[in-house]
Every structure is written in C-alpha cells, then in structure tokens.
Amino acid sequence: MKTLVAVVAMGLVLAGCATGRLSSAERLELYRAHAGPPQPSMRYFGSLNGWTELGDSALAVWTRPSEAYLIELRGPCYGLSYATAIGLTSQTGQVSSRFDRVLVRDPNHGPSVPCFIGAIRPLDVKALRSSEQELRQAQVQEREAGQTPPAE
C-alpha cells in the first residue's frame, strides 16, 4: 500500500511540476490514494469545516479539522467545479451513501442542484496533508532547479 501511495505521489509530482498546479483529476487521484474503503455513512451534525471540489463527480468534505471524507458521486454534478457553497442532506446526524445527496448552491441564487452520493470513504488527513506538503516542496525545488542564472 505504501508503495502504491509513493508511486501515485511521484506521478503527481511530475505532472504537477509540468503545470505548476495540480488539476482536479490529479487532486482526485491523490485523495483516492489516501482514502479508506467505502463505508455506508458518515457522521454529520449540520455544518462542514470545509470542502474541496475534485472535478465534477467527487469532493472532499471536512466535518472537523482532523476528520474528512472523500465523497464520490453517482455521476457528474452540474456546477460543482464553480460552486460557492454546498450542503448535505442527512438523517439523524448521518449522511448515507444510499439515500443522501450533495446540494450544490447556485452562485446566481438559483435552486440547489442535488447530486446523488455513490460512495463515502474516510480520508487519512495526516497522510494527505503530508503528501500535499511533499508535492509543494517538490514543485519549489523543480522551479529552483529550472532557473538559470542571469546573463552578464
């Protein structure tokens, strides 16, 4: 498992260095590499600590600073990549992968778009943050190595 994570991280470093920033697809692969197996539900008490879009069919949500989940949707979710806010439906403090939805708030104050949840996977937040830090350091080192001294 550690070898797989290292290979994925190295691939992302190389791809990220070429562009200077990870694409949504590359970030999704990084999050998948640090996600546990799918679980039927997650705890949710009405507010999120944060969220990150990972393309049009996945997002990461933080329920606490040290607790996060990868939510993969059943299909593309219109507006997720430029949403200013999201919500989650829930029952008795639980978001279910079978019955609940991500609600994408329209930035033009239109109705919320419901997106059906396909899978909920817990994230290893410490390992994810460590990998993100390693990627940032690798990008800085790559930029520094690519700089040429000014001509005299």
Instruction: Supply the range of the domain harboring residue 55.
Output: 37-123
The verdict on 92 and 135 lying in the same domain is no
Same domain, 105 and 49: yes
**Domain shared by 114 and 91, yes or no:** yes
The domain total for the chain is 2
Classify 10 as helix, strand or coil.
helix
pLDDT in tens, 45-64: 889 999 999 999 999 999 99
Residues 118 and 132 occupy one common structural domain: no
pLDDT of residue 135: 82
**Whether residues 116 and 140 fall in one domain:** no
Q: Which residues of the chain have pLDDT under 50?
A: 4-19
- For residue 17, the model assigns a pLDDT of 45
Closest CA to 87 of 69, 101, 108: 101
Same domain, 87 and 148: no
| Confidence (pLDDT) at 100 | 97
Tell whether 41 and 103 lie within a shared domain.
Answer: yes
The answer on 106 and 136 residing in a single domain is no
* Model pLDDT, residue 126: 95
Q: What is the pLDDT of residue 20?
A: 63
Both 80 and 111 in a single domain? Answer: yes
Q: What is the pLDDT of residue 4?
A: 47
pLDDT of residue 138: 76
pTM (two decimals): 0.77
DSSP-assigned states of every residue in 132-148: HHHHHHHHHHHHHHH--
Q: Are 139 and 108 part of one and the same domain?
A: no
Position 12 scores a pLDDT of: 45
Sign of the C-alpha dihedral, residues 122, 125, 126, 127? positive
**Is residue 91 located within the same domain as residue 21?**
no
